Amino acid sequence: MTDAMMQEEGKRTRDAAATRDAILAAACECFVANDYEHVGLREIAAKAGVTAALINRYFGTKEMLFRTVLETRPVDAEASDSSLQALMTDRDNFGMHLARRVLNARRNKANFAFDPMLVVLRSAGQPAAQAVLRERMTLWLTPLARELGGCDAAIRAEMILAILVGFDLLRNVILMPGFAEGDEELLVKRLGAALQAQLDD
């Protein structure tokens, strides 16, 4: 292959990667702002500066794009094996540490920041999205239950997720003033205590 051919191949690869990234970024914004059923490929395409046909070429269906969004920017980012193991090294303060991570991750909302939990909240009632969400949540819950241990670990893991989802709903979607505007240290204390109870009970 000549130098010119190699340069052209490299350009096509870079352009393809840039197009894919632009589509993903647009999809992230759309799925955070609206529920699965009310997000259209044309809307995503317009935001990305491409055609809907190009989205089909790169990702296939809307469901496959939705799945890719959650795989690329996962709900379970704080529940990877290494992250959970780090939290569990101080088991007595697990709840406080997790609460602080959750609040820190959502501190700066001046500019768009992808929040996978908001995607879950927006689309949880949509049948077409539920299977994907259930799959992603299972990937979050399985390592968490393993780290918790005990005969009812699966239930306690789901309780932790329920607490986090409920907190996120009231704070970032409904904007309840106690959560949305409350003192951060107090929120860490109260949220941390609720999470810790699932370890100490």
Give the pLDDT confidence of 135-170 residue by residue, as tens digits: 888 888 898 898 888 889 999 999 999 999 899 889
Question: Does residue 190 carry a pLDDT above 90?
Answer: yes
Domains and CATH numbers, the chain: 3-72 (1.10.10.60), 77-200 (no CATH)
Tens of pLDDT, residue by residue over 75-94, are: 544 545 556 667 777 888 89
Residues 6+ apart with CB under 8 A from 25: 48
Q: Cα(148)–Cα(166) distance, rounded to whole angstroms?
A: 21
- Mean of pLDDT over the chain: 81
The distance from CA 30 to its chain's CA centroid, rounded to whole angstroms, is 14
13 pLDDT tier (thresholds 50, 70, 90): low
Q: What is the DSSP string of 10-60?
A: HHHHHHHHHHHHHHHHHHHHHHHHS-GGG--HHHHHHHHTS-HHHHHHHH-
pLDDT value, residue 9: 45
CB atoms within 10 A of CB 167: 21
Amino acid at 54: L
Q: What size, in residues, is the chain?
A: 201
Cα–Cα distance measured from residue 175 to residue 144, given in angstroms and rounded to the nearest whole number: 28
